């Protein structure tokens, strides 16, 4: 085949030109500049702004236009476009939005990871520290939570506050009563209760079809977490203080060894399911609700829902759940449950929006308004009769129209959980009681937060997940194979040589530096 | 077909047995999914057994998915993507493959090299997004159909197939006065029905399963295809911790929702196979070329 000279030159010109076309000018501005001038506090509500927002969607998407959007447009005098992205692919969507230079005006960021810091460094977000004090509800946000989304002295995010109370241990009260057992207070008593649940037929049906505690591993972490947090062993990549001024992660915590030994015994005796390694957390929850297991530790207070109770009662009308106070830790010290980080996700404002002072004020006004419980909750429900109906027992039901277009589906943040907004007043009394008990129990004693919040380490970012998986797999192996507990020490040694040593060192340095000031 | 020699008979017999065995093995999980999709809350105990046939015909899970507000619009979107997308795919792929299969095409080598290059290297998510953005396709269903119009692998295989069509058949058409376009539509395509049917199937299944592109390139939930909706439904069914939906009736068990989802996803495209079966005919050109 002969390629003629002109054709060849044409082709090379074309290909080079197309290569160069890819080098478009970089979309993002390099330097973050907060609107520096002393700005008027009043926001001219007569000006209509176009506001684009993006957040994660966990359920069915709301309508793209309709009553809710209209109501929001009227309330804030904006032209609102609401993008809800399915939760699994949110990070990809965020990456593409950032790359194209079009981050929506208000965007939700799930967590302060390295990606967040990179974007902040590149100047994608508007610094907010000068504005917070002008808004009543935004100022109520605790400073230590705000510190978690501060980078190089600038505050970039407004967190969505969540109740700090976290997972508690649940137990079948009716089984305890049937077998005349008291509520367990130590791990030894817990083991006895689990033994009784497994061997003494607590559901009275004459068959040995029940077992002690519902555990699972297939969802990526060893659960029931609330069975382990009282002795300071936390799930995921959370860290606890080691009592010597430093911090350690997950199952490598000081009490980890004892706990692994205990769980190995549980597995051997059959107090936990032999299949727990294959079960997902939804399956272990089903085991508890449907009457196969008597103890479960993955519920936070708002997991005690009417739906779960109805599901359990449909299978067993005698089902009674109760909350177990935190067990005494394995080293004898007082046990307490772990706390959440206090927020879930935070909203950032795009740097582009920052060019218009009035718009920034409007956006913050919107966020502040949505944190005011007495104002936003009735607004979110929509119109009575159309979007919701009030039932005789005081609860509220949403109509199908309500589930697709009431204003509450388009909110970017929520009020601080306290009072009426903490426990939904429209819940049945029985549910309200157990939720309150769960909250009080979770906060009793000296509950502790993840010690690694706000502590940065390069090795943790690079290898944290892989190291954590390695450790968990090793622990589960010991449990399932009934290996002697000395293998745990070998596991920890190996884990350290794989990079955990480096990670622990960096984390501890960072931790000490953080607490020094 | 069945030989009389006993060794051949044994071979045939073992062959049939093994093939039957494998088909049954593949079919049983599907049957199980079908059975589980009909379970409801009342039959909680049945979840523990490995069912092969539904013990009850309870359509609650199907109804639950059907009742979501955007079920019809996402079904419409998926059908649109599959039909229009596959048409575009086949049209573009076959015409490109045909032109690359002609010996007289001088730029053939360079074009094939470029195609091969794209098979090995990919720009990645962000550059692709920038391209689609630059073309103004964002927030429209065309963004799902146009960028993926040609699959390099399919095109190369189709090109090989076209090269296998003997030149003399085409020359005789040319002698009879047919132009190139006529040759393509009247001779080459009808002769390649098996290959075209195969690739139609590949493309149709890929388009039907389209999930990731639609999340990235579209912003509105009205443009969601069925797969995205189904995933959301499964997630909602699995956890109500975030209180996404306040329902008066408890949702069906998560497992049967998942099974119903699988049925919704796979059945329609499975039904496509019988219609394309008749095109998988061999030997249409046998005897057309002598010598």
Which residues of chain B make contact with A58, given a CB cutoff of 8 A?
235-236, 239, 242, 244
Contact predicate B166/B284, CB 8 Å:
no
User: Taking CA atoms, what residue in A is nearest to B48?
Assistant: A287
pLDDT of residue B2: 56
pLDDT of residue B243: 35
Q: What is the CA radius of gyration of chain A?
A: 27
pLDDT of residue A464: 85
How many C-beta neighbours within 10 Å does residue A391 have?
A: 11
**pLDDT tens string A52-64:** 899 888 777 888 8
Scanning A336-401, the segments in alpha helix (DSSP H) are 357-369, 373-381
Spatial separation of the C-alpha atoms in residues A57 and B236, rounded to whole Å: 10
Residue A488 pLDDT class (50, 70, 90 cuts): very high
- Which of B67, B246, B250 minimises the CB distance to A311? B250
Q: How far is B167 from chain A (nearest CA, A)?
A: 19
Interchain CB distance below 8 Å, B125 and A302: no
Which residues of chain A make contact with B253, given a CB cutoff of 8 A?
286, 311
**pLDDT tens string A433-465:** 999 999 999 998 888 888 888 787 888 888 888
Token pair belonging to A51 = 């506001």
Spatial separation of the C-alpha atoms in residues B289 and A391, rounded to whole Å: 81
Is residue A283 predicted with pLDDT exceeding 70? yes
Spatial separation of the C-alpha atoms in residues A458 and B58, rounded to whole Å: 53
**Angle at the Cα of B98 from the Cα atoms of B97 and B99, rounded to 5 degrees:** 95
Complex-level ipTM: 0.71
pLDDT of residue A65: 83
Token pair belonging to A253 = 């915590």
User: Taking CA atoms, what residue in B is nearest to A298?
Assistant: B241
pLDDT of residue A29: 39
pTM for the structure as a whole: 0.74
Total beta-carbon pairs less than 8 A apart between chain A and chain B: 111
Q: How far is A88 from chain B (nearest CA, A)?
A: 9
Domain total in chain B: 1
Contact predicate A171/A324, CB 8 Å:
yes
Residue A10 pLDDT class (50, 70, 90 cuts): low
Residue A21 pLDDT class (50, 70, 90 cuts): very low
- Which of B130, B232, B243 minimises the CB distance to A99? B130
Is residue A316 predicted with pLDDT exceeding 70? yes
Spatial separation of the C-alpha atoms in residues B238 and B218, rounded to whole Å: 25
Q: What is the dihedral of CA A17, A22, A28, A30, to 10 degrees?
A: -70
Residue B146's nearest CA partner among B101, B89, B76 is B89
Token pair belonging to A490 = 């070998």
B227, containing H or E segment: helix B226-238
In chain A, the percentage of residues whose pLDDT exceeds 90 is: 30
Looking at per-residue pLDDT, the higher value among A234 and B47 belongs to: A234
Instruction: Residue B248: give its domain's CATH number.
Output: 1.10.3720.10
Is residue A135 predicted with pLDDT exceeding 50? yes
φ, ψ of residue A388 in degrees (nearest 5): -155, 160
Token pair belonging to A245 = 């001024």
Residue A5 pLDDT class (50, 70, 90 cuts): low
What does the DSSP assignment read for A399-457? -TTHHHH-GGGG-S----S-GGGTS-TTS-HHHHHHHHHHHHHHHSS--B--TTTT---
Q: How far is A99 from chain B (nearest CA, A)?
A: 6
- Which of B106, B133, B251 minimises the CB distance to A3? B106
Which residues of chain B make contact with A84, given a CB cutoff of 8 A?
221
Is residue A13 predicted with pLDDT exceeding 60? no
Counting every residue written for chain A, the total comes to 517
Q: How far is B228 from chain A (nearest CA, A)?
A: 8
| DSSP bridge partners of A165 | A339
Q: Across residues A158-186, what is the average pLDDT?
A: 91
Spatial separation of the C-alpha atoms in residues B41 and B33, rounded to whole Å: 16
Spatial separation of the C-alpha atoms in residues A267 and A277, rounded to whole Å: 11
User: Taking CA atoms, what residue in B is nearest to A400?
Assistant: B69
User: Taking CA atoms, what residue in B is nearest to A101?
Assistant: B130
Residues contacting A216, CB < 8 A, separation 6+: A222, A223, A224, A276, A279, A280, A281, A283, A284
Spatial separation of the C-alpha atoms in residues A244 and A230, rounded to whole Å: 19
Q: How far is B263 from chain A (nearest CA, A)?
A: 20
Spatial separation of the C-alpha atoms in residues A422 and A435, rounded to whole Å: 10
Which residues of chain B make contact with A282, given a CB cutoff of 8 A?
238-239, 254
Spatial separation of the C-alpha atoms in residues B257 and B150, rounded to whole Å: 35
In chain A, the percentage of residues whose pLDDT exceeds 70 is: 91
pLDDT of residue A34: 43
Q: What does each of the 291 residues of chain B score in pLDDT, given as a tens digit?
A: 555 688 889 999 999 999 999 999 999 988 888 888 887 766 666 666 777 888 788 888 888 778 777 888 889 999 999 999 999 999 999 999 999 998 888 889 999 999 999 989 988 888 999 999 999 988 899 999 999 899 999 999 999 889 888 888 888 988 998 888 888 998 888 888 888 888 998 899 999 998 889 888 988 888 889 888 888 877 766 554 333 333 445 567 777 888 888 888 888 888 888 887 777 765 455 445 555
Would you say residue B65 lies in a domain?
no
Contact predicate B217/B138, CB 8 Å:
yes
Which residues of chain B make contact with A218, given a CB cutoff of 8 A?
none
φ, ψ of residue B81 in degrees (nearest 5): -60, -45
What does the DSSP assignment read for A149-194? GEETTEE-EEEEE--SB--EEEEEHHHHHHTT-PPP-BHHHHHHHH
Residue A188 pLDDT class (50, 70, 90 cuts): very high
What does the DSSP assignment read for A275-304? TTTT--HHHHHHHHHTTSEEEEEEE-GGG-
- Which of A57, A307, A311 minimises the CB distance to B232? A57
The two beta strands, A154-155 and A150-151, are antiparallel
**pLDDT tens string A378-420:** 888 888 888 888 877 777 777 878 878 888 888 898 888 887 7
Chain centre to alpha carbon of residue A100: 28
Which residues of chain B make contact with A100, given a CB cutoff of 8 A?
129-130, 133
Q: Which residues of A22-38 are buried (b: 16+ CB within 10 A; e: fewer)?
A: eeeeeeeeeebebbeee
Interchain CB distance below 8 Å, A58 and B244: yes
Handedness of CA B129, B132, B133, B137 (dihedral sign): negative
Whether domain A49-164+342-421 has CATH 3.40.50.1000? no
> Domain A168-338+437-516 has what CATH class?
alpha beta
Q: Across residues A309-316, what is the average pLDDT?
A: 86
pLDDT of residue A14: 55
Interchain CB distance below 8 Å, A60 and B232: yes
Q: How far is A507 from chain B (nearest CA, A)?
A: 32
Which residues of chain A make contact with B233, given a CB cutoff of 8 A?
60
Would you say residue B36 lies in a domain?
no
Query: How high is the mean pLDDT of chain A?
Result: 84
Is residue A25 predicted with pLDDT exceeding 80? no
Segment among A99-103, A227-231, B114-118 with least mean pLDDT: A99-103
Would you say residue B57 lies in a domain?
no
Q: How far is A454 from chain B (nearest CA, A)?
A: 25
Domain with CATH 3.40.190.10 in chain A: 49-164+342-421, 168-338+437-516
Distances (CA, A) of B123 to A469, B93, B115, B144: 31, 21, 14, 17
pLDDT of residue A517: 58
Give the domain range for residue B75: 71-291
Interchain CB distance below 8 Å, B240 and A95: no
Is residue A468 predicted with pLDDT exceeding 50? yes
């Amino acid at each position: 085949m002969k390629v003629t000279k002109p054709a060849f030159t044409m082709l090379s010109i074309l290909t080079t030109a197309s290569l160069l076309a890819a080098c478009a000018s970089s979309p993002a501005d390099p330097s973050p500049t907060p609107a520096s001038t002393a700005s008027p506090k009043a926001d001219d509500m007569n000006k209509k702004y176009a506001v684009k927002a993006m957040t994660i969607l966990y359920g069915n998407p709301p309508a793209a236009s309709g009553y809710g959007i209209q109501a929001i447009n009227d309330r804030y005098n904006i032209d609102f476009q609401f993008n809800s992205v399915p939760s699994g692919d949110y990070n990809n969507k965020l990456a593409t939005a950032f790359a194209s230079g079009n981050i929506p005006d208000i965007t939700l960021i799930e967590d302060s990871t390295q990606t967040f810091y990179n974007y902040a460094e590149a100047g994608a977000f508007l610094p907010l520290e000068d504005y917070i004090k002008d808004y009543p509800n935004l100022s109520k946000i605790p400073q230590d939570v705000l510190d978690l989304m501060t980078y190089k002295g600038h505050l970039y995010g407004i967190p969505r506050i969540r109740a700090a109370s976290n997972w508690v241990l649940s137990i079948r009260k009716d089984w305890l009563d049937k077998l005349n057992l008291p509520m367990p207070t130590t791990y030894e008593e817990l083991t006895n209760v689990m033994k009784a649940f497994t061997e003494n037929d607590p559901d009275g049906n004459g068959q040995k079809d029940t077992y002690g505690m519902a555990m699972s591993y297939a969802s990526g972490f060893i659960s029931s977490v609330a069975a382990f947090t009282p002795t300071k062993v936390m799930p995921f990549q959370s860290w606890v203080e080691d009592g010597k001024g430093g911090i350690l992660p997950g199952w490598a915590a000081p009490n980890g060894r004892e706990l692994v030994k205990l769980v190995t015994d549980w597995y051997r005796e059959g107090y936990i399911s032999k299949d727990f390694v294959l079960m997902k957390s939804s399956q272990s929850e089903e085991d508890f609700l449907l009457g196969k297991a008597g103890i479960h530790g993955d519920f936070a207070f708002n997991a005690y829902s009417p739906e779960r109770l109805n599901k359990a009662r449909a299978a067993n009308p005698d089902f009674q759940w109760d909350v177990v106070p935190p067990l005494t830790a394995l080293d004898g010290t007082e046990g307490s449950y772990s706390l959440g980080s206090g927020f879930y996700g935070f909203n950032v404002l795009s740097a582009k929006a920052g060019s218009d002072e009035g718009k920034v004020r409007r956006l913050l006004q919107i966020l502040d308004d949505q944190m005011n419980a007495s104002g936003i909750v009735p607004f979110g429900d929509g119109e009575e009769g159309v979007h919701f109906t009030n039932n005789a027992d005081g609860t509220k039901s949403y109509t199908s129209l309500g589930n697709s277009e009431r204003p509450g589906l388009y909110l970017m943040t929520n009020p601080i959980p306290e009072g009426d907004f903490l426990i939904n007043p429209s819940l049945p009394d029985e549910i309200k009681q157990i939720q309150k008990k769960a909250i009080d129990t979770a906060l009793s004693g000296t509950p502790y937060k993840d010690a690694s919040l706000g502590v940065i380490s390069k090795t943790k970012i690079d290898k944290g997940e892989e190291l954590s998986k390695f450790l968990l797999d090793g622990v589960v192996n010991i449990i399932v194979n009934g290996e002697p507990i000395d293998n745990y020490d070998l596991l920890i040694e190996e884990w350290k040589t794989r990079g955990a040593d480096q990670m622990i060192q960096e984390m501890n340095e960072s931790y000490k530096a953080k607490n020094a000031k | 077909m069945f030989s009389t020699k006993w060794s051949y008979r044994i071979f045939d017999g073992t062959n049939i047995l093994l093939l039957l065995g494998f088909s049954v093995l593949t079919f049983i999980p599907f049957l199980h999914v079908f059975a589980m999709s009909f379970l409801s809350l009342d039959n909680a105990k049945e979840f523990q057994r490995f069912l092969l046939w539904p013990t009850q015909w309870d359509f609650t899970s199907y109804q639950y998915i059907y009742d979501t507000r955007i079920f019809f619009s996402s079904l419409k979107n998926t059908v649109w993507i599959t039909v229009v997308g596959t048409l575009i795919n086949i049209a573009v792929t076959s015409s490109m493959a045909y032109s690359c299969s002609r010996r007289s095409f001088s730029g053939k080598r360079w074009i094939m090299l470029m195609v091969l290059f794209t098979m090995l290297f990919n720009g990645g998510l962000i550059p692709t997004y920038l391209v689609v953005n630059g073309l103004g396709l964002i927030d429209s269903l065309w963004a799902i159909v146009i960028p993926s119009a040609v699959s390099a692998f399919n095109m190369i295989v189709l090109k090989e197939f076209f090269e296998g069509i003997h030149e003399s058949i085409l020359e005789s058409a040319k002698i009879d006065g047919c132009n190139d376009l006529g040759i393509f539509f009247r001779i080459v395509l009808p002769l390649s029905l098996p290959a075209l049917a195969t690739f139609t199937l590949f493309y149709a299944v890929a388009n039907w399963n389209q999930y990731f592109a639609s999340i990235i390139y579209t912003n509105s939930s009205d443009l969601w295809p069925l797969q995205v909706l189904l995933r959301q439904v499964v997630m909602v069914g699995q956890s109500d911790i975030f209180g996404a939906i306040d329902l008066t009736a408890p949702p069906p068990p998560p497992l049967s929702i998942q099974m119903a989802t699988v049925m919704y996803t796979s059945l329609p495209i499975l039904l496509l196979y019988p219609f394309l079966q008749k095109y998988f005919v061999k030997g249409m050109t046998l005897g057309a070329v002598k010598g």
